Amino acid sequence: MVETGAAIVQSDKTVLIELSHPGAEDARHDIAVFAELERAPEHVHTYRITRLTLWNAEAAGHSAEDILATLERHSRFPIPDSVRADINDAISRCGKVTLSRDGDRLVLHGDPAILREIAQSKKVQPFISSVGDDALEVEPLSRGKIKQELLRIGWPATDLAGYAEGEDHEIDLQTNGWSLRDYQQRAVDRFVGSGSGVVCLPCGAGKTLVGAGVMAELDQATLILVTNTLAARQWRRELLERTSLTEDDIGEYSGSVKEIKPVTIATYSIVTAKRGGQFRHIGLLGERKWGVVIYDEVHLLPAPVFQLSAELQATRRLGLTATLIREDGREGDVFSLIGPKRYDAAWKDLEKAGYLAPAHCVEVRLELPAEDRIHYATLADNERYRYASTHQAKDAVVRELVEKFPEERILVMGIYLDQLERLSTELDIPLVTGETPLAEREELLRQFRDGEIPALVVSKVANFSLDLPEASVAIQVSGTFGSRQEEAQRLGRIVRPKADGRSALFYSIVTRDTVDQDYAMNRQRFLTEQGYSYEIVGTDALTDGAPAST
């Protein structure tokens, strides 16, 4: 124990970190491995340790001894005995129940007392075909469902049932002048050694290359599921450039194209499309013997894909994401159906290594005019956020920031189309939304990358799947309520390393003392957990001198 540590571990498994403490940054970095940031006000941050955060940490290679040693190193006071017991108990449950094959049978093994407890669970019973003293036989098609239920009753199953090999298809990395970074290779090795699971890397850290590295290791037919058609095109471009795959090897399966090839890239929307209550394109999953299914942006996985994934447990599954946070609370389903976290790299670690640009985050708070504040107070609860986050008072702040950085590539980000259209018109900056025709969208992005246009106004389409390494300033005017994942995605658009080493700037314009400010505080939680801090300023500070991107 360090008497002057930055952290206080409480008996309810929350960890308080005092930000003014000189060891606060190290404590936040280390504790985020096995705890989730719950609250992040200005002076004290609150982390919560849960079974799921511990199980993900264990799957990524952290033992109970490692976790307790971390807490002891940073804790100001002795760790409560109940917390020690809970951590040891949670970690000890990992590996106590295994799912394996015995010929054609799918079997749960474990201590007889644990198996009796499991067999008595009404949620598990529908998936058990027979009960023995030392094993439970599982219905053959219930491999995914039983893992979900076992997780819910506190027994995360170690899946040793193996995987069906896919069709052979040779894939090599074309490493002319480049190679996988050390952390990317570690992520590939960790996944291939385990067979299924999630790799967490910051936006801009090369998750696509990890996917390509896995494909090159396995040399098998691959199905890649992505968020939209633009993401599909970017995966195609990257694979054509970085691997031995040719145009004839890669198919696109989307609303406009229906190709099935040894490597097929499909959108989530097409996979989950229904007709007459049935998934219209379910045949895609069985069209070939896939060796691996890659889920891009797994934190955005639509609920129906969980249902489909429960039937894909004999196929290797790789989830790629910047954050395991899901706003719908289904992190447990990612753990049980896609797999646990196999590898992660902290944003600040990659920044220190030069793989990400340093980023300075600023929250600009503006006041509503008195008459508008009175109007805001009269609105229904469900109308207040839109009113506060799209208020025209923000327009002048955006203009001031755009004019302040004439040499930078700027993204103005929001979710409300009327607000974005207004800003696009007033600032004479092109607008890119989900409604922008794909050809026009790609041309605008090319012009931005080539420096022909210095700024874009972008909708939620920019939260993912935009490859704009030149972007260095982001101005956020509205967000999807309190979405932490969106905040991470948006920062990720600007943290690609800059040739001259300058920092990226992330501005969030917020209406003071409204739900806009409340949601902004929640959105910032994930990035705060990753070690970023937000400087909070008023609009007068911009005139006095905003941070420069140097």
Residue-wise pLDDT for 321-356, tens only, equals: 887 777 677 888 889 989 999 998 877 788 888 888
- State residue 526's pLDDT score: 67
For domain 182-345, the CATH class is: alpha beta
- State residue 463's pLDDT score: 67
- State residue 2's pLDDT score: 44
Per-residue pLDDT at 543 exceeds 70: no
Per-residue pLDDT at 529 exceeds 70: no
Per-residue pLDDT at 300 exceeds 90: no
Residue-wise pLDDT for 461-506, tens only, equals: 776 656 677 789 999 999 887 677 778 778 888 888 877 778 889 9
Show the tokens assigned to 244. 């031995």
Q: Residue ranges of the domains in the chain?
A: 7-92, 97-155, 182-345, 354-545
- State residue 550's pLDDT score: 35
CA distances 269 to 67, 158, 200, 229, 329, Å, are 40, 31, 23, 10, 21
User: Using CA atoms, how far apart are residues 478 and 3, in angstroms rounded to an integer?
Assistant: 43
- Tell which residue, 393, 388, 389, has the closest CA to residue 376: 388
Same CATH topology for 182-345 and 354-545: the answer is: yes
- Tell which residue, 171, 185, 199, has the closest CA to residue 56: 199
* Beta bridge partners of residue 363, listed in sequence order: 508, 536
Higher pLDDT, 461 or 6: 6
- Percentage above 70 pLDDT, the chain: 94
Phi, psi of 99 (to 5 degrees): -110, 120
Check residue 335 and report its DSSP letter.
I
Phi, psi of 49 (to 5 degrees): -95, 125
Task: Assign 314 a pLDDT band (cuts: 50, 70, 90).
Answer: confident
Mean pLDDT, residues 249-266: 90
- State residue 548's pLDDT score: 43
**Pick among 3.40.50.300, 3.90.79.10, 3.40.630.30, 3.40.120.10: CATH of 354-545:** 3.40.50.300
Query: If one looks up domain 97-155 in CATH, what number appears?
Result: 3.30.70
- Tell which residue, 412, 385, 386, 417, has the closest CA to residue 398: 412
- For the ranges 124-128, 393-397, 497-501, the lowest mean pLDDT is seen at 497-501
pTM as predicted: 0.81
Residue-wise pLDDT for 258-280, tens only, equals: 889 999 999 888 887 777 777 67
Instruction: Give one DSSP letter per residue of 204-257, joined into a string.
Output: TS-HHHHHHHHHHHH-B-EEEEESSHHHHHHHHHHHHHHBS--TTTEEEESSS-
Per-residue pLDDT at 546 exceeds 70: no
Residue-wise pLDDT for 11-45, tens only, equals: 999 999 998 899 988 898 899 889 988 776 668 88
Per-residue pLDDT at 530 exceeds 70: no
- State residue 3's pLDDT score: 55
- For the ranges 249-253, 376-380, 473-477, 481-485, the lowest mean pLDDT is seen at 481-485
Average pLDDT, the chain: 87
Residue-wise pLDDT for 409-463, tens only, equals: 999 999 999 999 999 999 999 999 888 888 888 899 889 888 899 999 998 877 6
Residue-wise pLDDT for 185-223, tens only, equals: 999 999 999 889 999 888 778 899 999 999 999 999 999
